[in-house]
Amino acid sequence: MRGLDEVDIQILRLLNEDARRSYSEIAERADVSQPTVTNRVERLRKLDVIHRFTLDLDRSILNEGVSVLIDIDTFASTVDNVARAFKQREGVHTVHMTADAHAIVLATCRPNDVHELVAETLREPQYSAYEVKLLADTRTDPSIDDVKFSVECTTCGNQVVSENGVETQIDGTLYHFCCERCEADFEAKYEQLRENA
């Protein structure tokens, strides 16, 4: 399996700047052919380096309301449930979970509805406190500087090192393995499951 090279990094940088760029424009800027760009982007999607192409909306213009950041001090046992509950709410754009059991929620709502949003979403034993901050501005700039490529082995979970790694496509899905033994083990288990189905 080969890792990311300079062409992959250049394509990612160009898409990061403007995901609407055509493959022909990317090819011209990266000094490669359009089919190369098409193949590379498809490969990056199969590797889950690229999950989706999306919009960066100014929701305060589209929705009536203000953008707020809600920092909820949850418990380790409830942080997943809290995040799941907020993700289902209208007006909630992103939910981040921290290592110290905080759920950070970015939402747009009318100023008078912020505490109602929290009260309707949470139950008292799920959190100890929360803090709401009014956002003046939001800027995101996902950086692609000094990117290191890291994929986990499908069989053992170890990091796949480019020079030793193996990739295999089975029934239309691309799998990654740290070595040929892990690949063989996976293929044997896959074949056994297929026979038993």
Closest CA to 162 of 172, 150, 154, 180: 150
Closest CA to 71 of 106, 117, 109, 116: 106
Instruction: Locate the domains of the chain by residue range.
Output: 1-54, 59-134, 150-197
pLDDT-flagged residues of the chain (< 70): 1-3, 57-64, 141-143, 145-150, 162-163
The CATH code belonging to domain 1-54 is 1.10.10.10
Burial-class residue 88 by CB neighbours within 10 Å (0-12, 13-18, 19+): exposed
Average pLDDT of the chain, as a whole number: 85
Rounded CA gap, 107 and 121, in Å? Answer: 13
The CATH code belonging to domain 59-134 is 3.30.70.920
The predicted structure's pLDDT at residue 1: 47
The predicted structure's pLDDT at residue 167: 82
Report, at the CATH architecture level, how domain 150-197 is classified: Roll (2.30)
The predicted structure's pLDDT at residue 96: 94
What is the pTM assigned to this prediction? Answer: 0.53
Rounded CA gap, 166 and 25, in Å? Answer: 32
